[in-house]
Amino acid sequence: MSEGYEPKILMFACNWCSYAAADLAGTSRMKVPHNIRIVRVMCSGRVDPQLIIEAFTSGADGVLVTGCRIGDCHYIEGNYKTLRRIILLKKALEQLGIESERLRLEWIAASDAKRFVEIAVDTVERLRKLGPLKRHFDELSRVIEEVRGIE
Amino acid sequence: MSEEVRVGVYICHCGTNIAGTVDVEEVTRYASTLPGVVIARSYIFMCSEPGQQLIKDDIVKYKLNRVVVAACSPALHELTFRRAVEEAGLNPYLFEMVNIREHNSWVHPDKVQATEKAKDLVRMAVAKAIELKPLEDIKVEVNKSALVVGGGIAGLAAALYLARMGFMVHLVERKPTLGGHTARIPFITYLGVRGDELVESYVKALMAMPNVKIYVNSDVVLLEGGAGAFKARIRMRPRYVSAKCNLCGECEKVCPVEVPNEYEYGLVRRKAIFLPFEKAYPLLYAIDMEACTRCGACVNVCPVEAIDLEETEKHEDVTVGVVILATGFDPYEPEREEFGYKLSDRVLTLFQIQRLLDERGPTKGEIVVNGKIPKTIVFIACVGSMGVGRKAGRYCSRMCCSTIMSCALKIRERIPDSTVFIIGRDIRTYGYEEDLYWKALEGDVRFVRYDEWPEVRVTTEGSIEVLVRDVTVGEYLLIPADLLVLGVGASPGKYLKEVLKVIRVGCGDEGFVREAHLKLRPVEAPTEGIYVAGAVTGPKSVVESITHGMAAASRASSILSKDYVSAEPMIAMVNEDLCSGCLVCIGMCPYNAITTKTLDGRRVARVNPIVCMGCGTCVAACPSGAMQQQGLEDRILLAQIRAFSR
Amino acid sequence: MSKVNVAFYWMASCGGCEEAQVDAITDDFSVLNVLNVVFWPVALDFKREDVERMPDKSIDIALINGGVRLSEHVEMAKLLRRKAKIVIAYGACSSWGGVPGLGNLYTREDIFSRVYSEVPTLKERGVRPQPKYVTEEGIELELPEVLPLLLPLNAIIEVDYYIPGCPPTPETTLNAIKALLEGKLPPKGSVLGASSRTLCEECPLNKTKPDKVLVVGYRRIYNTKVDSEKCLLVQGIPCLGPLTRGGCKALCPQAAAPCVGCYGPLETHVDYGMKALSYIASILDVRPDESEVKRVLDEGIPDPVGLIYKFTLPTSRLRMSFRKKA
């Protein structure tokens, strides 16, 4: 992988658990890799696969979907649906030639800042090894431009 | 968008908390270059009065119709800024707050990276803000009544205090009598009263109030709605014995069925038709239909025809403004053979020994085991708590040490030549209860401290030996016991899981109900309008349960005392033009907030705005995109996501 | 009414749209009589040169079906765009790529390799299409180049309207053509002739649904018994009716076959396949244990992309598989 490649990660965080865990990591002045940009939702159940695919096409090398632990969802079962969607989406991503490890689902309790940091560090490491996703989209754009140029 | 979007962006220094790491001036410059932004500023403390005034002045001066503040976590000040924006005449939901402190300056030491990230986050927030539309809070009229689920001491305290505040109270209790475990405690330490008399004082006070309705033998089978307007269905199971009952007891004499008496913790048995205890409320017999064989013998002998075996259950629907969950606990039930449990009549639990010691109990306070007065009595503390026991919780059950101490003292008093051992991991007679510990020491009670679980040996004749390693001395002791009392603590109520299917609050790892926040929001469930009180949240003494109950009543009154409550409008909404009535959304909602209605001959989905809690799960699942979440519509999130890269 | 100049053109097409067009316009002679067909490779002998000679914008309506898979398609699409006032993407393939769009899961070389080298019935192996070839007699022959992927029409030219379906039903086709002839048109870029809502509204099985639409697993119609009187989705058969545009009157579900999505997306769909994936996964009511969910999905939906993107892969956000080339 190219030197100095820093993967860019879009993280969906639920207001009650994972967003709060990220806040706690801040309050506790933990060191967190800088690669993550958080999009806040009320519940991980709001995360529509359309939004995830949009993240990939908008420049994210990896997408982290986070929420409350199973059984602890503030809205009771929102995360059950998230789990089902992500599992099916990972299957589809593999078929579409996108490494399914680029999409990661983690449950993080509001008090678990430590786990948030561990997941962040680990995700950045794994994505570094996978390389940028951008080159696929660049290739796609190039091919389409070429096709469009045919007279 | 027909109107021009004019965004104001405010970057907070937060003293040096943000500015020490992030180049706030650079971020501000960058923000001013973003499409839609007409003014971008930074200020040392945006949340301060002058900081807020800066925003308000700009809204007027620059005719801003969107505001973005990049500062600390929205968990802290989102509400502050929404109010400020509203005061300046702008809809509070045209505001977006982005976290560049907890998520950025406080966790990324590299200044360049932190500044770049701040720019990215601001760019995403501005893109999101542009898509926001004005929203109105949802106003719910508050129904000034309360539903208290659980008629133990916490529920009684909560119900009484709510009633005294003037609110209508529906008190629902599963058993045929009020009082819970408190009513079966002969002496409550520190208060120095009998449990059943304490309960009686609450019940009498409640009965004197016209605005209290008590349902015994009942449970809540349905709960819908939200704070201010809950709809509950109360199932009133048949007692089979009416108020005509004159307590003559003839029915009991002829009943052929005997089962363990739960009001004596299985120490003795009762008939299928029974009177719970002397001070039960209501003081009537009841039939335990699971034990009853319907032989009809009781019906034949009842002189007042109070028994009707064909009585059916009834339902009542009530509307209330708040719900208090106070369903208590149940004692830890050791498994058979665990510490000798059920292997001998000489092994009792702490709850059983209290019944034995009760002067109004089944033995009138006489301590007799197998026809003999025990001389060596051993208590093993912490059974079921502190990790001691096969299904033990890791928590301390708080009240058992004090209770063991009281029981030990009573035994020493009544059997002067007895030898009492208390084998414990720790002695936690906290607060004023410490006094009991000293009395016990002075009363010649022997204390043994253990770490490894004691081993209980029961011979075939039923005699007992306890082998324990005394940590202080470092030696093993073998203690023959005439009576062994397992100092069991509290476990989550055995019906709790069932209750939680209806009243949806979460549990902690140990199975007790979790309060929203131990420090900031005790006695509250995360769901607004639902409160939790007493041992349902974890082991508590009687005094603590009463305090908890009163606290819950007090918190609940903060809703009941208002005429309206406002709910945040980030709820699901159906675009009826687009909805094809596929019904996928309905199965997604855990609150059953979605139903259908007919529109121009078509079936479309309909969201109840009061019940919807705004999770957005149905929105993500909606196949046609007709269901959207106000304030978090697809187009809003997409705008934020699409701004991810420069 | 004066005659209207109409052109039909087919790109990577199965021929079904052609039959559908004939079906439709011969259903209603009032429409047929108004049409002056100036170009129709499958039926009439007009050549490309004839089109090149027409003045710009002299064709009133050009209906193009099939996906863009050859260089010739690109050339013809651009030509027709110049020569026509209104260009319609007719059918699923030109609108979103259609079934041939699933070819985008493979590289061009993968496809050639399979077709020209690996298929067991080949007589000669290893041949590849040659863009230029000179015969012994010195005659230059040309074959259009096969593009690296299949694209929908709107990736090449601006499309005015879409007529959805695989193929569009006669009713949808006539609704659209009549709207065009009468000039009663929605904003440019809209879908013509079909519903503005999804299929469940038209499907007679919709009213048999229970209160909650939840399944415990998925199955296919070929290996299980299907109750033709009940909603197929509720029976665990993945039906895309809830998210597919209506207008076909739910022909397939009424024959106990699940909707596979040939009438395509609504305007609200950012990525049709992803939205399909969302609700198909959401309604699976199994306990929230990762291995259990995976097991049930592996069993019931072995080919997610084939299910969700059967007609729309080239128009999805990813458009194709990003597999490394073989």
Per-residue CA distances from B243 to B6, B238, B305 (Å): 72, 12, 10
**Whole-angstrom distance, CA of residue C314 vs CA of residue B411:** 84
Average pLDDT over residues C86-104: 97
Q: Which of A32, A72, A75 sits opposite B108 (nearest CB)?
A: A32
Q: Check pLDDT > 50 for residue C305.
A: yes
Which chain C residue has the Cα nearest residue A85? C281
Chain B residues in contact with A23 by the CB 8 A cut-off are: 73, 75, 99, 102-103
Partner-chain contact C242 B626, CB within 8 Å: no
Per-residue CA distances from C7 to C14, C70, C88, C183, C189 (Å): 18, 20, 10, 18, 19
Assess if residue B280 is contained within a domain.
no
Q: Is A7 at the interface with chain B, CB within 8 A?
A: no
Assess if residue A4 is contained within a domain.
no
Looking at the structure, do residues B395 and B481 belong to the same domain, yes or no?
yes
Pairing of strands B322-325, B145-149: parallel
Question: What pLDDT, on the 0 to 100 scale, is given for residue A3?
Answer: 65
Assess if residue A70 is contained within a domain.
yes
Exposure string of B400-413, with b = 16+ CB inside 10 Å and e = fewer, is: bbbbbbbbbbbbbe
Chain A residues in contact with B614 by the CB 8 A cut-off are: 42
Question: What pLDDT, on the 0 to 100 scale, is given for residue B190?
Answer: 67
Q: Which of B107, B570, B590 sits opposite A25 (nearest CB)?
A: B107
pLDDT tens sequence across B124-183: 999 999 999 999 998 989 999 999 999 999 999 999 999 999 999 999 999 999 999 999
Q: Check pLDDT > 70 for residue C52.
A: yes
The CATH number that applies at residue B392 is: 3.50.50.60
ipTM: 0.97
Q: Is C61 at the interface with chain B, CB within 8 A?
A: no
Q: Would you say the C-alpha torsion A75, A81, A87, A89 has a positive or negative sign?
A: negative
Exposure string of B427-456, with b = 16+ CB inside 10 Å and e = fewer, is: bbbeeebeebbebbeeeebbbbbbeebbeb
Grouping H, G, I as helix, E, B as strand and the rest as coil, residue B104 is: helix
Q: Is C113 at the interface with chain B, CB within 8 A?
A: no
Partner-chain contact C212 B583, CB within 8 Å: yes
Q: Which of B116, B591, B620 sits opposite A47 (nearest CB)?
A: B620
- Please report the number of interchain residue pairs, chain B to chain C, with beta-carbon separation below 8 angstroms: 77
Q: Check pLDDT > 70 for residue C326.
A: no
Residue C201 is given by DSSP the state G
Q: Check pLDDT > 90 for residue B578.
A: yes
Looking at the structure, do residues B554 and B497 belong to the same domain, yes or no?
yes
Q: Which of B582, B603, B620 sits opposite C278 (nearest CB)?
A: B620
**Whole-angstrom distance, CA of residue B178 vs CA of residue B214:** 9
Q: Check pLDDT > 80 for residue B520.
A: no
- How would DSSP label each residue in B186-237? S-BTTTTB-HHHHHHHHHHHHHT-TTEEEE-SEEEEEEEEETTEEEEEEEE-
- CATH code of the domain occupying C4-100+149-182: 3.40.50.700
pLDDT confidence of B10, banded at 50, 70, 90?
Answer: very high
Chain C residues in contact with B617 by the CB 8 A cut-off are: 282
Assess if residue B59 is contained within a domain.
yes
Partner-chain contact A23 B117, CB within 8 Å: no
A33 residue type, one letter: P
pLDDT confidence of B56, banded at 50, 70, 90?
Answer: very high
What domain count does chain A have? 1
Looking at the structure, do residues B468 and B498 belong to the same domain, yes or no?
no
Proportion of chain B in helix, strand, coil states, percent, rounded to 5 = 30, 25, 45
Q: Which of C148, C275, C293 sits opposite A143 (nearest CB)?
A: C148
Q: Which of A46, A58, A71 sits opposite B617 (nearest CB)?
A: A46
Looking at the structure, do residues B11 and B107 belong to the same domain, yes or no?
yes
The CATH number that applies at residue A53 is: 3.40.50
Partner-chain contact C242 B602, CB within 8 Å: no
Which chain B residue has the Cα nearest residue C279? B621
Q: Check pLDDT > 90 for residue B277.
A: yes
Residue C286 is given by DSSP the state -
Q: Are B542 and B319 in contact (CB under 8 A)?
A: no
pLDDT confidence of B117, banded at 50, 70, 90?
Answer: very high
Looking at the structure, do residues B342 and B481 belong to the same domain, yes or no?
yes
The CATH number that applies at residue B88 is: 3.40.50
Start-end of CATH 3.40.50.700 domains in chain C: 4-100+149-182
Assess if residue A60 is contained within a domain.
yes
Name beta bridge partners: B129: none
**Whole-angstrom distance, CA of residue B438 vs CA of residue B444:** 10
Pairing of strands B145-149, B602-607: unpaired
Q: Is C312 at the interface with chain B, CB within 8 A?
A: no
Q: Containing H/E element for A100?
A: none
Looking at the structure, do residues B161 and B229 belong to the same domain, yes or no?
yes
My answer on whether omega of the bond before B50 falls inside 30° of 0, hence cis, is no
The CATH number that applies at residue B604 is: 3.30.70.20
pLDDT tens sequence across B24-54: 999 999 999 999 999 999 999 999 999 999 9
Chain C residues in contact with B579 by the CB 8 A cut-off are: 197
Mutate to test the interface with C, among A100, A147, A148 (most CBs of C within 10 A): A147
pLDDT tens sequence across A75-108: 888 999 999 999 999 999 999 999 999 999 999 9
Cβ neighbourhood burial of B213 (10 Å; 0-12, 13-18, 19+): middle
Residue B334 is given by DSSP the state P
Average pLDDT over residues B528-552: 96
H helical segments located in chain C: 16-27, 29-32, 48-53, 71-83, 91-96, 108-112, 170-182, 251-254, 272-282, 290-300, 304-308
Q: Is C200 at the interface with chain B, CB within 8 A?
A: yes
**Whole-angstrom distance, CA of residue B150 vs CA of residue B492:** 14
Assess if residue B253 is contained within a domain.
no
Q: Which of C211, C246, C270 sits opposite B634 (nearest CB)?
A: C270
Q: Are C159 and C87 in contact (CB under 8 A)?
A: yes
As a whole number, the mean pLDDT across chain A is 94
Which chain B residue has the Cα nearest residue A34? B108
Assess if residue A118 is contained within a domain.
yes
Q: Is C212 at the interface with chain B, CB within 8 A?
A: yes
Per-residue three-class SS string for B66-87: EEEEEECCHHHHHHHHHHHHHH
Looking at the structure, do residues B380 and B463 belong to the same domain, yes or no?
yes
Say what angle helices C272-282 and A49-57 make with each other, to 10 degrees: 140
Q: Check pLDDT > 50 for residue B1.
A: no
Domain stop point among B533, B560, B587: B560
pLDDT confidence of A1, banded at 50, 70, 90?
Answer: very low
Chain A residues in contact with C322 by the CB 8 A cut-off are: 96-98, 136, 140
Nearest chain A CA: its distance from C275 CA (Å):
6
As a whole number, the mean pLDDT across chain C is 94
Structure tokens at C313: 């892969």
Q: Is A30 at the interface with chain B, CB within 8 A?
A: yes
**Whole-angstrom distance, CA of residue A68 vs CA of residue C121:** 56
Nearest chain C CA: its distance from B574 CA (Å):
13
Nearest chain C CA: its distance from A41 CA (Å):
17
Looking at the structure, do residues B67 and B128 belong to the same domain, yes or no?
yes
Which partners does chain A have (≥3 C-beta pairs < 8 Å)?
Answer: B, C
Question: What pLDDT, on the 0 to 100 scale, is given for residue B248?
Answer: 94
Which chain A residue has the Cα nearest residue C313? A96
Per-residue CA distances from B502 to B232, B496, C231 (Å): 9, 10, 30
Q: Containing H/E element for C104?
A: none
**Whole-angstrom distance, CA of residue C204 vs CA of residue C199:** 10
Assess if residue B129 is contained within a domain.
yes
**Whole-angstrom distance, CA of residue B46 vs CA of residue B13:** 8
Nearest chain B CA: its distance from C233 CA (Å):
10
Looking at the structure, do residues B334 and B420 belong to the same domain, yes or no?
yes
Per-residue CA distances from B191 to B412, B534, B543 (Å): 21, 17, 8
Range of the domain at A79: 9-148
Q: Are B103 and A22 in contact (CB under 8 A)?
A: yes
Range of the domain at B587: 568-630
The residue whose two tokens read 């108020």 is B243
Q: Which of A56, A87, A88 sits opposite C290 (nearest CB)?
A: A87
Question: What pLDDT, on the 0 to 100 scale, is given for residue C1?
Answer: 60
Looking at the structure, do residues B341 and B464 belong to the same domain, yes or no?
yes
Residue B241 is given by DSSP the state B
Question: What pLDDT, on the 0 to 100 scale, is given for residue C325?
Answer: 54
**Whole-angstrom distance, CA of residue B328 vs CA of residue B538:** 9
Backbone phi and psi for residue B403, each to the nearest 5 degrees, phi listed first: -65, -45
Which chain B residue has the Cα nearest residue C210? B583
Question: What pLDDT, on the 0 to 100 scale, is given for residue B2?
Answer: 60
Question: What pLDDT, on the 0 to 100 scale, is given for residue C322?
Answer: 85
Instruction: Count Cα neighbours of B147 within 13 Å in the Cβ-side half-sphere.
Output: 32
Domain stop point among B491, B516, B531: B491
- Of B541-545, C136-140, C221-225, C250-254, the range with the lowest mean pLDDT is C221-225
